[in-house]
A and B are shown apart, each in its own frame.
Chain A
Amino acid sequence: MRDKILFIIGAIAIFILARDIYMVAGLPEEANQGAIFKIIFFHVPMAMTALTCSLVAFVSSVAFLITRRFYFDALAVAVTEVGLAFLAGNLITGSIWGRIIWGIWWTWDARLTSALVCWLLYAGYLMLRRAIEEPTQRATFAAVFSIFAFIDVPIVIFSIKWWRTQHPQPVFWGGGSFPPDWAAIFWLNVLAVLLVGIVFTAVRLRQEEAQREIDSLRRMAHAL
């Protein structure tokens, strides 16, 4: 049943994404930036999904430290890994946009740097988990690290407001606007990418449960 629901959600998300590529291709070019502006339809939804994953990881880590339930630890690692994939997509698509608009692949601007630091912190979280064998210790250290890493998320979001950055101001809360048909495609894409994130997290969470089963089978094998 769970598999069927995940499959349906995934199929809906892929359908929306595929349809939106067709819709985006049909949109006129943006007056100043030309066709490359259309990358925003994938760059921003990926960032939104990645930062939502960070928020869920933060809440799960706090919940683990309070309740000591391993479900929250599994959720935190699942959602962090998925968020990392989307943040990588966001950084790379942003870099491609920058190459056309700024003429450079990368600049050490506050938004770009804080987003890269965010990616490195969450990659460090996954590496930390691999380095600790004992499950309770691993979950506790990882939860504390995840809470620490989350400090960077508001910095990523508000960096463009707090500092004068080369990265443009946001379209929706920076005084800009989209034509209504563009906005509809954009928000549909946000929904689709979020749905993909949910499916990935659910699959990854199941894998964490399988890993816990392996750990308990190993303990049984040692005890016998």
Chain B
Amino acid sequence: MQPSAEDVAREITRLQHNYQFLSYGLIVAWLILVVYVLMMVSRENKLKREIASLRAMLEDRK
């Protein structure tokens, strides 16, 4: 039995929807990694600045 044009159109929409959500999933997975890396980089810079300023302050006091 041949599938009707409606069935074909429905199947195409389902497939597109499936791929669209799969891409959302992959984007989210990568985005979380990227955001976490950016958070760590900003924290690293903050810590370095804090250590440098504390060391400078200690040098001044000595």
Q: Which residues of A contact B (CB under 8 A)?
A: 21, 29, 34-36, 38-39, 42-43, 46, 82, 85-86, 88-89, 92-93, 96-97, 99-100, 196, 200, 203-204, 207, 210-211, 213-214, 217-218, 220-221, 224
Contacts and interface: CB of A to CB of B under 8 A. Distances in A.
A211 B17 contact: no
A88 B21 CA distance: 17
Contacts of A35: 15, 18-19, 22
Q: How large is the interface on B (under 10, 10 to 19, 20 to 34, 35 or more residues)?
A: 20 to 34
Chain A at the B interface: SS class: helix
B14 interface: yes
14 contacts: A29-B18, A36-B22, A39-B26, A42-B29, A46-B29, A85-B32, A85-B33, A92-B32, A96-B24, A96-B28, A100-B17, A200-B36, A214-B47, A218-B54
A221 B58 contact: yes
Given A89-B32, A200-B37, A224-B58, 16 more contacts: A34-B14, A34-B15, A35-B18, A35-B22, A39-B26, A43-B25, A86-B32, A89-B29, A96-B24, A96-B28, A213-B51, A217-B55, A220-B58, A221-B57, A221-B61, A224-B61
B21 A100 contact: yes
Given A85-B36, A220-B58, A221-B57, A214 B29 contact: no
A93 B50 contact: no
Chain B at the A interface: SS class: helix
Contact of B50 (A34, A96, A214): A214
A42 B24 CA distance: 12
> Which of B14, B24, B29, B54 gathers most chain A CB within 10 Å?
B29
B25 A207 contact: no
Contact of B54 (A38, A196, A221): A221
A204 B32 CA distance: 16
A13 to B, nearest CB: 10
Nearest to B57: A221
Given A200-B40, A204-B40, A224-B58, A217 B25 contact: no
